[in-house]
Amino acid sequence: MPRHSVRDVIVETALREFHRIGFAACSVDTITRAAGVPKGSFYNHFKSKEDLAVEVVAKYTAEAEWNSVIDPELTPLEKLRAQFRIMGDVLVGNGYTRGCMIGNMGEELADHSEPMRAQVRASLGGWAEGISATLRAAREAGETSTDADLDVLGRYILDAWEGALLRSKVVKNDQPLDDFFSTVFGQLLR
Amino acid sequence: MPRHSVRDVIVETALREFHRIGFAACSVDTITRAAGVPKGSFYNHFKSKEDLAVEVVAKYTAEAEWNSVIDPELTPLEKLRAQFRIMGDVLVGNGYTRGCMIGNMGEELADHSEPMRAQVRASLGGWAEGISATLRAAREAGETSTDADLDVLGRYILDAWEGALLRSKVVKNDQPLDDFFSTVFGQLLR
DNA sequence: CCGGCCAAGACGACTAGTCATATTGGAGGG
DNA sequence: CCCTCCAATATGACTAGTCGTCTTGGCCGG
């Protein structure tokens, strides 16, 4: 049991720290110190820092706040809006820093780490498919009259979200998120 | 003159190398080796690696392929499409690596370097304004019937571009760019 | 001679990962 | 039940670099 729990502490801590400062700036030492775990123990649980990061992205993908929107009273588009809203609230709560963990890792490591590129690809792919599924429900419910291919649109909306988060880190105000919401829900999906 | 030329060689080389592998992965040694310049000379011209990177982003912004689209025969929307197309061709030509230099730097450094955050902010801001100006010309020419606020739309389109380039690095195929073009020109701007 | 510019190599901080040693837990025997 | 031994696991000092930056000596020109 203790070994299992130490491992989990490392993953949880790494998730927080990688998101806070990014992969390159976050050393194994930083993680283990923050986790209160001896540095030498790290390699009992993870083959490398890269392996840990891949696992962290998988965990984040499964547990992101996105998944916490489960109110059955919401229409499909209301649900989609709530999902993006809650993710945006996290960004704002962090003072417009950190952006999106998945996008950050893709940006930083896609050209350098094949396991990470594969993980980010899977994470973004699954996320976009979820958006497209919600769009299909919205279309069936008569919530949107768009004639766009909904798989294309789901992916595109996610791209726009990643870009908006990036710009939020840069301008440090609400404008990118406001632009996103008004364009996606006010133009593309009406 | 020689100092000026060495300095320029460093900037040109840095532009290439920073874009190829990103800020953190690109050491001063990497740049000076590639430039054929003694490493010790570097600090005669630049206060720091960060200062160089800021200057590189400014230079890239001024000289990106985006600016090379000047055919007066093109309608505003044709011009906009050509501008994005030529930028996309660079990505494809590099095997779907590198993404967008400005976005990359913003991603990697916005939370760590204030001068870089300011530069990326200026670069993205200017770029988005250019897009919005083209959209206004398109509206006046009757090319688009969108009723969106064109300043909002310009910024949003640029966000979507950044996100599409990120995803291109991850999936390494044409899908993100295709999604971008069909949604922006097939949905938002028709 | 003096001042300014150049650049080689030194400097100190930091990194991911290793490994010799310490610790712990489980199994077997009395 | 207790004790001993052994194997597996834990750990912190260490290794072998890399890094950005600085210092100092040399060179050149006025």
Length of chain B: 190
Chain A nearest C-alpha distance from B62 (Å): 19
> Distance in angstroms, CA of B30 to C1' of D19?
11
Helix ranges restricted to H, chain A: 2-21, 28-35, 42-45, 49-63, 76-93, 101-109, 114-140, 150-171, 175-183
Q: Phi and psi of B131, rounded to 5°? A: -65, -45
Structure tokens at A7: 């491992």
Structure tokens at B101: 């230099």
ipTM of this predicted structure: 0.91
> Distance in angstroms, CA of A121 to C1' of D16?
35
Q: Phi and psi of A36, rounded to 5°? A: 70, 35
Backbone conformation region of residue B63, classed left if phi is above 0, alpha if psi is from -120 to 50, else beta: alpha
pLDDT band for A3, please (50, 70, 90 cuts). very low
In chain B, the domains with their CATH numbers are 2-46 (1.10.10.60), 61-188 (1.10.357.10)
pLDDT tens string A103-118? 999 999 999 999 999 9
Position B17 pLDDT exceeds 60 = yes
**CB-based contact B24 A21, cutoff 8 Å:** no
Closest CB to A171: pick one of B111, B121, B148. Answer: B121
Task: Out of A62-71, A77-86, A177-186, pick the least confident.
Answer: A62-71
pLDDT tens string A145-189? 999 999 999 999 999 999 999 999 999 999 999 999 999 999 999
CB of A3 lies under 7 Å from some atom of strand D: yes
- Residues B149-176: what's their mean pLDDT? 97
CB B106 within 8 A of CB B124: yes
Nearest to B158 by CA among A90, A180, A84: A180
Residue A28 confidence (pLDDT): 93
Q: Residue B62 and residue B77: Cα distance in Å, rounded?
A: 22
pLDDT tens string B24-66? 999 999 999 999 889 988 999 999 999 999 999 999 999 988 8
Residue B68 confidence (pLDDT): 86
**CB-based contact A110 B160, cutoff 8 Å:** no
Residue B114 confidence (pLDDT): 94
Chain B nearest C-alpha distance from A174 (Å): 12
CB of B37 lies under 7 Å from some atom of strand C: yes
Chain A nearest C-alpha distance from B106 (Å): 6
Closest CB to B179: pick one of A121, A146, A159. Answer: A159
